[in-house]
Structure 1
Amino acid sequence: MKLAFLYAGQGNQHVGMGMDLYEQYPDFRRFYDTPSAGFNIKELIQNGPEEVLGETRHTQPCMVAFCAGITALLEQEGILPQMAAGLSLGEYSALTAAGVFDPDTAIALTAFRGKAMETAVGDLPCGMAAILNLDRDTLQKACDEASSLGIVEIANYNCPGQLVIAGEAEAVKKAGELALASGARRCIPLHLPGPFHSSLMSPAGDALADYFKKISFGEMRFPVIFNTTAKSLQPGETIPALLEKQVQSSIYFEDSIRYMEQLGIDTAVEIGPGKVLSGFVKKTTKAIKTYAVEDAESLRAVISALKGETQ
């Protein structure tokens, strides 16, 4: 078995996530009890309200704390991956698992990142939309044509048949209409608080670049596949530069899955609420078996299954 950990991004957070782990596993609690986020993570996750948890400045450190806690519990059982990847925010959880950040640093960093992303576009009307069942080139042509109304770009290459566009509201709406006219099955508006992974987020990239000068980056104990390159760290690349680019550039999760498959990954564990990434893997390749951990029950099931495979 050659194992990868996949870390969920923003969007599937919910009130109560991880609270059964908090109650049943003392070693999980420290990740929710840390003051690093600048607010009470455990209190917000336990009691909400949902709309406050859904604010980017809160969602991001809460998700990182959740994922770091599960990773620690898996590691206690001797379960470590050969590599890791994460979708958007999940890349920070992957880097934390790999030892680049300690959990407290990652939680503080993503609290800062969330605030920077919230304020990047000011009051500019923006949007995002998922485009189903349209190829990349055709969608790019739709974005190019709609760009007369403002910035609109392909933000996410998630898996075959699922792309995401982001940008200024009118341009996104027009690109969606053109995509439907070109054969897309659906255009689904996404309720996210900003045009994530578009060039409109460049102020957040600049803010992160300054923040990165104040923190240290550890050596990776296993490779992380980066969103913007769909590869592990290459000669001449630096993690700060890739993370600065990531917040304002397209992310290539489908390509990352294919790269892991080329490197021999045959098993993936998704860590985070929901099973979105497992779905992306299944739509991309049949060569990688997927598991998902999001609560105490699934944690025990995955530990049992993986230990059974290695015996």
Structure 2
Amino acid sequence: MDTQQLALVFPGQGSQKVGMLAELGESFSIIKDTFAEASEALAYDMWDLIQNGEQEQLNLTETTQPVLLTASVAVWRLWCEQGGLRPSLLAGHSLGEFSALVCAGALNFADAVRLVRARGQYMQTAVPVGEGAMAAVLGLEDAQIVEICAQASSTGVVEAVNFNSPGQVVIAGQVAAVDQAIELLKAAGAKRAMPLPVSAPFHTSLMRPAGDKLALALADISVQQPNIPVVHNVHGKTESDPAVIKALLVEQIYSAVKWVDCVETMLAAGITHTIECGPGKVLSGLNKRINKSLNCSNIDSPESLSAALESIA
């Protein structure tokens, strides 16, 4: 298989679960070694947390973000160690964009682990718990959803924040405005419009204070030109300038995740296979819905690693 046909993708929040990567960790030392590296950066035993901790603790944003980044980097390192084909593009969904940049050599791993923990803290404190909400909307056109959010915004902030696949969009904002939007969306014929179990309205304009803090944190961190291009959520394009990459990471916190655009960019570049590095297969499902011809694999167990390696042989 030609390297130009392969992209590796990295999941965002929601893919974490207690016991994730357990079998890979027992089979391949590089998994636990990567978690040990991250544990040293954060001064707590991250592997013990994901294997023996409580799901509630794992779901705290400031915990979830470094845990998922570490899981993705560990799987990427395993892929490389096992002789996996070098991809021509990388991309990640929200938090996963940081994982992609680490794997592309643009961000130092320990720096990134500390940075995303801080990002989680900033995002959580930008809007007090209980004041923000998110909801998934199925079965309406993007433009309809954007228009209905504009109507409901007389009640408060509500915006379309994740364009995940055709017919699947996530909205977020202040609780009353999200509730109002849900009613209007159902009246407009949405198949489903259901609240999501998250603690803050991610990727809305309400996250601007978090963006300001992230910009300050990024000022002290070195970003290099990626050695594999990364497709960015904000505009669905690749960037090589480290200063632009920093600006995009800040903007991403309060801007919509344009995942459909990211996948369309990969397809236009000739990508035929995507491999999801990390727990679960959320992105594999989205990618398949965006384009049925895509060959989508994921790696979170020894069996799925073998299958992914075979899929590009």
Please classify the TM superposition score into its range, dividing by the shorter chain length.
Answer: over 0.9
Asked whether 1:15 is paired with 2:47, we answer: no
Q: Mapping of 1:104-253 within 5 angstroms? A: 104-123=110-129, 125-233=131-239, 238-253=244-259
Moved more, 55-64 or 101-110: 101-110
Q: Show the counterpart of 1:76.
A: 81
Q: Which runs of 5+ in 2 are unaligned?
A: none
2:14 partner amino acid:
G
Asked whether 1:56 is paired with 2:37, we answer: no
Moved more, 262-271 or 36-45: 36-45
Asked whether 1:33 is paired with 2:36, we answer: yes
Q: Mapping of 1:79-94 within 5 angstroms? A: 79=84, 80-94=86-100
In structure 2, C-alpha distance between the alignment counterparts of 1:300 and 1:22, rounded to whole Å: 15
1:26-83: CA deviation from partner (whole Å, max 9, x where unpaired): 1222211121134221111011111001101101101011110110011113322100
In structure 2, C-alpha distance between the alignment counterparts of 1:287 and 1:97, rounded to whole Å: 26
Asked whether 1:43 is paired with 2:48, we answer: yes
Moved more, 5-14 or 102-111: 102-111
Per the TM alignment, residue 263 of structure 1 is displaced from its structure 2 partner at its CA by 0.8
Over the matched positions of the two proteins, sequence identity in percent amounts to 39
SS class of match (2:199): coil
C-alpha distance 45-124 of structure 1, shift in aligned 2 (>3 A): closer
TM normalised by structure 1 equals: 0.95
Q: Show the counterpart of 1:292.
A: 298
Moved more, 239-248 or 39-48: 39-48
Per the TM alignment, residue 115 of structure 1 is displaced from its structure 2 partner at its CA by 1.1
Per the TM alignment, residue 235 of structure 1 is displaced from its structure 2 partner at its CA by 7.2
In structure 2, C-alpha distance between the alignment counterparts of 1:85 and 1:258, rounded to whole Å: 12
In structure 1, C-alpha distance between the alignment counterparts of 2:265 and 2:41, rounded to whole Å: 34
SS class of match (1:187): strand
In structure 1, C-alpha distance between the alignment counterparts of 2:311 and 2:160, rounded to whole Å: 37
C-alpha distance 104-149 of structure 1, shift in aligned 2 (>3 A): same
Q: Show the counterpart of 1:103.
A: 109
In structure 2, C-alpha distance between the alignment counterparts of 1:18 and 1:213, rounded to whole Å: 33
| Conserved 8 A contact 1:124-1:168 | no
Per the TM alignment, residue 234 of structure 1 is displaced from its structure 2 partner at its CA by 6.9
Moved more, 295-304 or 8-17: 295-304
In structure 2, C-alpha distance between the alignment counterparts of 1:94 and 1:50, rounded to whole Å: 25
Moved more, 189-198 or 233-242: 233-242
| Conserved 8 A contact 2:224-2:242 | no
**What RMSD in Å do the two structures reach over aligned CA positions?**
1.4
